[in-house]
A and B are shown apart, each in its own frame.
Chain A
């Protein structure tokens, strides 16, 4: 009969020899194999202490960007929310008052900006839609949390540290993305 696939194999049903029936030789062989694994390098990464390096195009947690003077770039145009296929982004716009020029880059800014990380699919469409280079996906991912509420990130969670007051935090949050921005 013709075989249906090329993976067909004849099963051997020979009675076991005395050596095989003893069972002990194969046990010792198996124990040799497991013993050799005692000295193998372990592929596990000790997560909180060590972190797996991500590629520079990794799409992780979002950051809201600032310019060199530390002003928020976001103008609350809503294009990111519109482009979001998972409908994870909500925002409320507000008008910049006189005297707030050092805080916000343009006349309109986001008073409230929330991303639901449970809904987000990390596709990066918000990043592509943003005309102001205000939102980026960083190389970290959302840490575990005890409740669903903890996964709704507001503006304070998302904003990148100010480059003037906290340059180290700024660089760290930016990671490799900085090289692509400028």
Chain B
């Protein structure tokens, strides 16, 4: 009868939290497409979408509707099951990462302690890395199932890029974990609230992490998987309609998630700089402010991603591998070593 002793309140509370967070991620990703087009336009002295609704704010809906209405083509020689599975996997893995991110401090609702985090598992950051690595399967399956040599090559290219940059990313993260001494996302944030943001101690680590995050999200200058002009598009070449939409959308969700992860790991998460918000007690609005602060940080990162995209041309493939393996990986190793030595010396 142990099963019936579940605290139904927790079940209910987590359900609401999941719904809110996934919806937030989707809406943010949707409006990232709008922001991308607007920022691209502004950086190029244009106006951007301004026809659908005031300031073109309904443009994402129109785009989504267009993608749904378009003809759905499944190539005859493709393996149908995998062809459908590819974009689904990409989308699911993109949404899953948001589960362990602390979106705000623990709040008090009628005596219940409600943490604004879906699940505070003790290997939080490893979970994110695990799920992000699963995203490679979306790319590989999509490229393989298309039964098109260009798609397959692009999928191999994209997968090897993601795998290569995951190494340097993981190593730069190790230095952070040495500082904090815990894999739990909430304790990473709490450590930063107590001791100052990680970016102050790990500027090089942050730079490496940021560059790798760009590569993981397939953003410029690492957007080889979707180099439509010189590399004949990417692994989603055979995709059309909303399946293509899912691939592109998953990338925007990934971008949002990586922006949030970077704010959490290096920029104090929901911590407000120069303010001791713990003194305000745990009212519900403190949690909300924390959430808004985290979203602001994430928005700044998303802007940075887009700003970089519309400034830098993309790398050639050999330059990409060169940077990943010969520059970032040794640099991350050195960074890790220095951090380890300094920590050892300070503790002695």
Give CA–CA (A147, B50) in the complex, Å: 27
A40 close to B (CB within 8 Å): yes
Given contacts A27-B312, A31-B307, contact A38 B47 (CB under 8 A): no
Interface size counted on chain B using CB atoms at 8 A: 12
Q: Is B232 an interface residue (CB 8 A)?
A: no
List of B residues within 8 angstroms of A43 by Cβ: 45
- Using Cβ atoms and an 8 Å threshold, which residues of chain B touch A15? none
**A residues within 8 A CB of B45?**
37, 40-44
Closest CB-CB distance, B272 to chain A, in whole Å? 26
Given A27-B312, A30-B312: A35 in contact with B307 (beta carbons within 8 A): yes
Q: Is the CB of A37 within 8 A of B312?
A: no
Task: Flag whether A34 is at the interface (Cβ < 8 A).
Answer: yes
Q: Is the CB–CB distance between B311 and A42 below 8 Å?
A: no
Asked if B308 is at the interface of the complex by the 8 Å CB criterion, the answer is yes
Q: Per DSSP, are chain B's interface residues mostly helix, strand or loop, or mixed?
A: loop
Cα(A67)–Cα(B224), bound, Å: 66
Given known A30-B311, A31-B308, contact A38–B46 (CB-CB < 8 A): no
Kindly state the interface size class of chain A when it binds its partner. Answer: 10 to 19
Closest-by-CB residue of A relative to B304 is A31
Q: Which residues of B contact A34 (CB under 8 A)?
A: 43, 307, 310-311
CB–CB A46/B43 < 8 A: no
B55 on the interface (CB 8 Å rule)? no
Contact B307 A42 (CB under 8 A): no
Chain B proximity mask over A30-61: 1 for CB below 8 Å, otherwise 0: 11011101101111101000000000000000
CB distance from B98 to the nearest CB of A (A): 29
A31 near B311: Cβ-Cβ < 8 Å: yes
Contact status B50-A37, CB under 8 Å:
no
Contact B311 A38 (CB under 8 A): no
Once bound together, how far apart are the Cα atoms of A34 and B310, in whole Å?
A: 8
Q: How far is the CA of A41 from the CA of B42 in the complex (A)?
A: 9
User: Within residues 38 to 78 of chain B, which ones have a CB less than 8 A from any CB in chain A?
Assistant: 42-47, 50
Q: Is the CB–CB distance between A27 and B311 below 8 Å?
A: yes
> How many angstroms between the C-alpha atoms of A42 and B45 in the bound complex?
5
Residues on the A chain within 8 Å of B307, using CB: 31, 34-35
**CB-based contact A37/B47 at 8 Å:** no
* Complex contact A46–B47 (CB within 8 A): yes
**A42 to B38 Cα, complex, angstroms:** 13
Is B42 touching A37 in the complex (CB atoms < 8 A)?
yes
Q: Is the CB of A38 within 8 A of B43?
A: yes
Q: Which residues from A are CB-within-8-Å of B42?
A: 37-38
Beyond A27-B308, A30-B311, A37-B45, 6 additional contacts (C-beta under 8 Å) are A31-B308, A34-B307, A38-B43, A42-B47, A44-B46, A46-B50
- Measured CB to CB, the residues of A under 8 A from B are 27, 30-31, 33-35, 37-38, 40-44, 46
List 19 A-B pairs, Cβ < 8 Å. Answer: A27-B311, A27-B312, A30-B311, A33-B311, A34-B43, A34-B307, A34-B311, A35-B43, A37-B42, A37-B43, A37-B45, A38-B42, A41-B45, A42-B45, A42-B46, A43-B45, A44-B45, A44-B47, A46-B47
A-B residue pairs, 9 tightest by C-beta: A34-B311, A34-B43, A30-B311, A31-B311, A44-B47, A38-B42, A37-B43, A42-B45, A40-B45
